[in-house]
Amino acid sequence: MPAQFGRHQPMLDAAVAALRLRECWSPFPEIPSGKIYGDCAREEGAAGFAALKDKPFDLPGHPETHRLGAEVSPFGGDLGITYPAAPVGGLIAAAEAARPAFAAAGPQARVGVCLEALSRLNKISFEMANAVMHTTGQAFAMAFQAGGPHAQDRGLEAVAMAWDEMTRFAADARWEKPQGKAAPIVLEKHWAIVPVGLSLAIGCNTFPTWNSYSGIFASLATGNPVIVKPHPAAILPLALTVRVLRGVLAEAGLPSDAVLLAVDAPGAEITQDLATRPEVKLIDYTGSSSFGAWLRANATQARLFTEETGVNTITIAASDDFDGMCANIAFSLALYSGQMCTAPQNIYVPEGGIDTDQGHKGFDEVASAIVAAVDDLLADPARAAGVLGAIANPATLDRLARARGLGRVLRDTAGEGRIASPLILALTEDDAACGDECFGPVSFIVAVKDADTGIARAADLARRKGAITAALYDTDEARITRAIAAFTQAGVNLSINLTGAIYVNQSAAFSDFHVTGANPAGNASLTDTAFVTPRFRRVMWRRPVH
Amino acid sequence: MPAQFGRHQPMLDAAVAALRLRECWSPFPEIPSGKIYGDCAREEGAAGFAALKDKPFDLPGHPETHRLGAEVSPFGGDLGITYPAAPVGGLIAAAEAARPAFAAAGPQARVGVCLEALSRLNKISFEMANAVMHTTGQAFAMAFQAGGPHAQDRGLEAVAMAWDEMTRFAADARWEKPQGKAAPIVLEKHWAIVPVGLSLAIGCNTFPTWNSYSGIFASLATGNPVIVKPHPAAILPLALTVRVLRGVLAEAGLPSDAVLLAVDAPGAEITQDLATRPEVKLIDYTGSSSFGAWLRANATQARLFTEETGVNTITIAASDDFDGMCANIAFSLALYSGQMCTAPQNIYVPEGGIDTDQGHKGFDEVASAIVAAVDDLLADPARAAGVLGAIANPATLDRLARARGLGRVLRDTAGEGRIASPLILALTEDDAACGDECFGPVSFIVAVKDADTGIARAADLARRKGAITAALYDTDEARITRAIAAFTQAGVNLSINLTGAIYVNQSAAFSDFHVTGANPAGNASLTDTAFVTPRFRRVMWRRPVH
């Protein structure tokens, strides 16, 4: 048994068990505490990040013909880091050269590499938090959790799923067929796990690790070399990841080039070239539906796993905790300035208002209470900074500015530079604006005839335009049952009556399947069986036993 | 628990266990014996078939605007059966109308229907044998086995795989997240199995049930209504299947239209229209790579599962049982006149000959011995008829006639009407003819420089043109190891040194994965996890537990 595998097998076994149970589980503590990560972990992480800045990033042995990198922190300042870059042909050739040895290494060795790499990534979670913060604009606490332990959870989840699937059927069998009074026919049979080819991971700007680890680790565990193509504005978190993986690969005696970094520059992107190379058989993609459609039409040689555009909704039908509801919604709208793929956009409220524990509330009262809850959440500047973070992409600020004209402004956005608090508009259900994603800190409170209409609108939108999350506040159990049926048929996960410190935005590895694959918001679910099965095949040889 | 499910749960549990172990297992006896199937089963089956002939086929409640059907037995005579036919739009509408109730029925009810239907199909195996025989040209014994119990095995295998996967993760969970000294956050979570939509099964002429049951039963178990589109020359076996399924559905209180028959006429095929309908989300297809390519290019709204064209090979490097080898190969070439997707075509033999238990044999001696073994096998007319069967499609006879000019004839084909014994030609490895599939009773004995060249040629051909089977005869364990690696990398299952009553053509459900999905001979494997996972999705709802 490979040493790396043996060392981490208890964690792997626990992860496989957790997958089945879907309960709360993680081996990677989410609290950025010195008690857990070491007394000096925070300072060491900051120092580690500082030491990376304004230097060439070191990736020993990586293909390199030139250097690229122009990251700018959304909190201000150039990172000044350059990364090794190489032509697409050179990257493909290097990955292809690594392929046979990586395939031949077998599941245990590769899973061992993945588990060891995840453990090492966990140890550098503070450094990663800084890298994620200063490329995505996430506030530190979120950058730590989402960029560190929660991303590691998603990576481990994918490794566990891949391992469970690769070992699901016997690798060897004795097939003995009775022949009446004659001697039975006896064959020995053996099955090999055969990886499908090169894998391309296309990262996004907002969650470079969380959204990419599932695909990267699923492909590595199943034996496919991975070319990691980061968003040009968020290279560092994935460069750190690639460095850790290459180091672990080398220690295991496997080719480091089983993981490569494909850096490009804005305006000179190499993604289309990479994605359509015949050697590339798997693509994991997070991003817009428009580029998703391009990949579907053009990268037909590869199996495509996507998370794409969607419109997430909240339907408010009634509440037995009106204040708790408003506070919960306010946090979901404000967190990372609405830049999560799980953030709600459309909030459907009956035009005649709703019943609550505080009596009947008219539409305007509900809208005002949500606005007030957002204001309250962001009243303290330090807390506001910790919740909002910064805007990752300047294009989001442009979209935000344009969005102010889409409806009646209930709450205007505020902020300077890359900081932007939620813009909240009132719309009617016929306004076209609420029919598409408006990515960023923009939400629409939409008046609907009644609660059932809101549910129908939300479910229909999920079915047509995609949605990753839906939320419902209601006290009528019969209507809740109808809503569950409607959202289930629309293929969107539903959260009901969330209050307190749990939010519709949150998706926990080992329990929540992130994205259902059942509506246009993506065809892949993190991490179900369908996410790993297309990454390898089984091939048999059999012969008689004499 | 639905009654049908409860009745068959022991069989289901045994099937799931068998999937994992990959040992020899089946609940459906393959021997056409009165002791097993009832003293009068053979006569009743013949009578049942006779009673179907020259009549309209009864499918109660099935959409019908007109009647179609012009099957001709390859053994002579029109079947004279007409089937209910309807426009594509009508079939789609009927399937769509059945979809919600069928989805809502849930896994247990649907799996119960599948298991009950398979049990009933097993009971009519003799009638089915006649139907398969007189549409495919298979001799009776093969028609019984392949059309009856072995097809039922593949159906059950798919149901077991689907059940195992649908129940792989908890359907409900209590997610409890500690909050330090505060009370934990507790959510209840529930997941529904959501089918993806309509499923289309495109049957083939030669194995209408065996090649279609996996897809039909996998889709039904996972909740997708299935439109069964038989080959116009082999409708009856699938019409019988559809009738059994519709009856069982009705008894279970489910819509019969969850299974529909889509009959068409040669020259007026409806397959392209059906395959490109937006409601069709799954397609199971067995047939030529050219139509497979058409489906890939045009039916982009659907997930496609295929078995396509390939070139199967035997490489002869050495033998310690020369007579046994030749007899085994002869049977594989002659069985059903080479019309199995698993039948070998190219036989690579070193030009300098091979070492055997009978001393060195030159190329011509090896070729002559194979020819003699075929002649010997077919010397007795009754046995010849039982092995060869008849040619399913007249186009195969035309191809056979043209093939006689492709090389040096070692054994000419013989037969009358639709009967055709193997044509065996000698080729050199540079002859173009051995680079493509020549479907039917045609095989090429190809002279190669040496055994390793033969292995390399065979593996390369599998990689480029596809192959479902490969066989090797050898006594050199080092070369056998090299061959295993080469064929594994080419993605083709390898059988080594088969002699006696086990043949490279044979693929046993619950043990052999039929088609690897790793080369152009098909993208689907019967039945691995990847065959069932794209047929459904999981959708969650969650809410706090107070």
Q: Give one DSSP letter per residue of A7-48, joined into a string.
A: HHHHHHHHHHHHHHH--S--SS--S--HHHH-TTHHHHHHHH
Find the CB nearest A173 among B22, B493, B495: B22
Distances (CA, A) of B26 to A239, A251, B38, B130, B420: 52, 47, 19, 22, 33
Q: Kind and range of the H or E element at B250?
A: helix B236-251
Q: Which CATH superfamily is domain B3-18+54-271+525-544 in?
A: Aldehyde Dehydrogenase; Chain A, domain 1 (3.40.605.10)
Closest CA–CA distance from residue A22 to any residue of chain B (Å): 6
Omega before B527 within 30 of 0, i.e. cis: yes
pLDDT over 90 at B213, yes or no: yes
Task: Give the pLDDT band of residue A546 (cuts 50, 70, 90).
Answer: confident
Q: Hey, are the CB atoms on B21 and A170 less than 8 Å from each other?
A: yes
**CA-derived radius of gyration, chain A:** 25
Residues in A 107-166 with any Cβ partner in B closer than 8 A: 165
Nearest C-alpha of chain B: how many angstroms from A469? 10
Handedness of CA B269, B272, B278, B283 (dihedral sign): positive
The CATH T-level fold of domain A3-167+192-304+525-544 is Aldehyde Dehydrogenase; Chain A, domain 1 (3.40.605)
Q: Span B471-482, mean pLDDT?
A: 98
How many angstroms separate the CA of residue A543 from the nearest CA in chain B? 5
Hey, what are A329's tokens?
């919604």
Contacts of B234 (CB under 8 A, 6+ apart): B71, B132, B135, B136, B203, B204, B205, B206, B208, B392
Nearest residue of chain B to residue A167 (CA atoms) = B20
- Using the Cβ of A462 and the Cβ atoms of chain B, whether some distance falls under 8 Å is answered with no
A389: left (phi over 0), alpha (psi -120 to 50) or beta: left
| B188-227 residues touching A, CB cutoff 8 A | 189, 191-192, 194, 196
**Residue B357 in contact with partner chain A when CB distance is under 8 A:** no
Residues A306-352: pLDDT tens digits? 999 999 999 999 999 999 999 999 999 999 999 999 999 999 999 99
Q: Under an 8 A CB cutoff, do A529 and B168 touch?
A: yes
Distance, in Å, from the CA atom of A506 to the CA atom of A528, rounded to the nearest integer, reads 18
Q: What is the pLDDT of residue B193?
A: 98
What's the pLDDT score for residue B266?
A: 87
Candidate CATH numbers 1.10.3720.10, 3.40.309.10, 1.10.10.10, 3.40.640.10; the one for domain A313-496: 3.40.309.10
- Chain A residue numbers with beta carbons less than 8 Å from the beta carbon of B542 are 493-496, 512
Interface residue B13 vs chain A (CB under 8 A): no
Longest CA–CA span in chain B (Å) reads 88
End-to-end CA distance of chain B: give it in Å, rounded. Answer: 30
What's the rounded mean pLDDT across residues A1-6? 94
Sheet holding B354-356, edge to edge: B318-319, B354-356, B359-361
Check A23 against B176: CB less than 8 A apart: yes
b/e per residue, A127-143, with b = 16+ CB within 10 A?
bbbbbbbbbbbbbbbbb
Query: Which residues are bridge partners to A84 per DSSP?
Result: A67
Distance separating alpha carbons of residues A351 and A202, to the nearest angstrom: 43
The model's confidence at residue A447, banded by pLDDT at 50, 70 and 90, is very high
Any residues with CB less than 8 A from the CB of A395 and at least 6 apart, and which?
none
- The confidence score (pLDDT) of residue B232 equals 97
Under the banding of pLDDT at 50, 70 and 90, the label for residue B424 is very high
Q: List the beta strands (DSSP E) in B61-170.
A: 66-68, 83-85
Residue B183, pLDDT score: 95
Tens digit of pLDDT for each residue in A417-437? 999 999 999 999 899 999 999
Residues B534/A532, Cβ–Cβ less than 8 Å: no
Q: What one-letter code names the amino acid at B498?
A: L
In whole numbers, what is the pLDDT of chain B averaged over residues? 97
Q: Which of B203, B195, B199, B193 is nearest to B281 (CA)?
A: B199
CB-closest option in B170, B487, B497 to A544? B497
B505 touching A (Cβ < 8 Å): no
Q: What percent of chain A has pLDDT above 70?
A: 100
pLDDT value, residue A509: 98
Q: Quick one: which H or E segment has residue B544?
A: strand B536-544
Q: How many CB atoms lie within 10 A of CB B199?
A: 30
Tell me: the pLDDT tens digits for A94-103? 999 999 999 9
The structure tokens listed for A413 are: 């956005």
CA–CA gap between residue B170 and residue A208 (Å, rounded): 30
Look at the block and give the residue holding tokens 């295929």: B306
**Does B3-18+54-271+525-544 match B313-496 in CATH topology?**
no
d(CA A347, CA A357): 20
Taking CB atoms and an 8 Å cutoff, what residues of chain B touch A179? Answer: 501
How many helices (H) and strands (E) chain B has is answered by: 19, 20
Q: CB-based contact (8 Å) between B482 and chain A?
A: no
pLDDT band at B166 (very low <50, low <70, confident <90, very high): very high
Q: How confident is the model at residue A267 (pLDDT cuts 50, 70, 90)?
A: confident
Nearest chain B residue to A494 by CA distance is B541
Q: How far apart are CA B104 and CA B115, in angstroms?
A: 18
Question: Hey, are the CB atoms on A196 and B518 less than 8 Å from each other?
Answer: yes
Q: Rounded to whole angstroms, how far apart are CA atoms A486 and A478?
A: 13
pLDDT at position B546, please? 81
User: Judging by beta carbons within 10 Å of its beta carbon (0-12, 13-18, 19+), is residue A467 exposed, middle or buried?
Assistant: buried
For residue A489, name the pLDDT band (cuts at 50, 70, 90): very high
A16 vs chain B: nearest CA distance in angstroms?
Answer: 10
State residue A229's pLDDT score. Answer: 98
- What is the DSSP annotation of B211-245? HHHHHHHHHHHTT--EEEE--TTS-HHHHHHHHHH
User: In this predicted model, what pLDDT tens digit does every residue of A152-162 receive, in sequence order?
Assistant: 999 999 999 99
Please indicate if any CB of chain B lies within 8 Å of the CB of A498. yes
Q: B537, A543: Cβ pair inside 8 Å?
A: no
State the pLDDT confidence band at A144, using cuts at 50, 70 and 90.
very high
Domain boundaries, chain B: 3-18+54-271+525-544, 313-496
Cβ of B538 within 8 Å of Cβ of A516? The answer is yes
Residue of chain A whose alpha carbon sits nearest to that of B495: A542
Nearest to B540 among A513, A539, A541 (CB): A513
- Residue A525: count other Cβ atoms within 10 Å of its Cβ: 24
Q: For residues B250 and B272, is the Cβ–Cβ distance under 8 A?
A: no
Residues A422/A441, Cβ–Cβ less than 8 Å: yes
Give phi and psi for A303, each to the nearest 5.
-85, 130
What local confidence, expressed as pLDDT, does residue A80 receive?
98
Most B-contacting residue of A19, A529, A536, A546 (CB-CB within 10 A), to test interface: A529
CB contacts < 8 A, A to B, total 182
Q: Does A101 touch chain B (CB under 8 A)?
A: no
CB-based contact B533 A537, cutoff 8 Å: no
Using pLDDT thresholds of 50, 70 and 90, give the confidence band for residue A485: very high
Outline where DSSP puts E strands in B48-126.
66-68, 83-85
**Residue A22 to residue B170, Cβ atoms within 8 A:** yes
Q: Judge whether B312 and B505 are in contact, CB under 8 Å.
A: no
H/E element holding A544? Answer: strand A536-544
Average pLDDT over residues A521-525: 97
Q: Is A521 an interface residue toward B (CB < 8 Å)?
A: no
Q: Chain B within 8 Å of A49 (Cβ-Cβ)?
A: no
What is the distance in angstroms between the Cα of B370 and the nearest Cα belonging to chain A? 21
Contact A492/B539, CB-based, under 8 Å? yes
Min distance A23 CA to chain B CA atoms (Å):
5
Mean local confidence (pLDDT), A280-309: 97
Residue with tokens 């969380």: A210
Nearest to A500 among B23, B185, B541 (CB): B185
- Whether residue A194 and residue B488 make contact (CB cut-off 8 A), yes or no, is yes
Residue B463 has pLDDT above 90, yes or no: yes
Contact A539 B488 (CB under 8 A): yes
Residue A183 contacts B, CB cutoff 8 Å: no
Contact A540 B512 (CB under 8 A): yes
Q: Sort A398 into a burial class: Cβ within 10 Å, 0-12 / 13-18 / 19+.
A: exposed
8 Å CB contact of A169 and B20: yes
Six token digits for residue A114: 């993945």
Distance from CA of A179 to the nearest CA of B (A): 9
As a whole number, mean pLDDT of residues B268-274 equals 96
Q: Which residues contact A78 (CB under 8 A, 6 or more apart)?
A: A70, A71, A72
Please name every residue paired with A306 in a beta bridge, in sequence order, or none if there are none.
A285
Spatial contact of B512 and B210, defined as CB atoms under 8 Å apart: no
> A-chain residues within 8 Å CB-CB of B179?
501
**Nearest CA of chain A to the CA of B495: how many Å?**
5
- pLDDT for position B254: 98
Sequence letter at residue B296: R
Q: Give the separation between CA A226 and CA B333, rounded to whole angstroms.
A: 43
Q: What's the mean pLDDT when you consider all of chain A?
A: 97
What are residue B423's DSSP bridge partners? B442
SS3 labels along B443-506: EEEEEECCHHHHHHHHHHHHHHHCCCEEEEECCCHHHHHHHHHHHHHCCCEEEECCCCCCCCCC
Contacts of A155 by beta carbon, 8 Å cutoff, 6+ apart: A114, A118, A121, A213, A214, A216, A217
Q: Identify from B172, B319, B468, B533 which residue to disrupt to test chain A contact, counting A C-beta atoms within 10 A and taking the largest count.
A: B533
Mean pLDDT confidence for B127-150: 98
The whole-number average pLDDT for the span B175-197 is: 97
- List A residues 292-321 in contact with B (Cβ-Cβ < 8 A): 296, 300
AA identity, residue B286: T
Q: Do B169 and A19 touch (CB under 8 A)?
A: yes
Cβ–Cβ below 8 Å for A502 and B177: yes
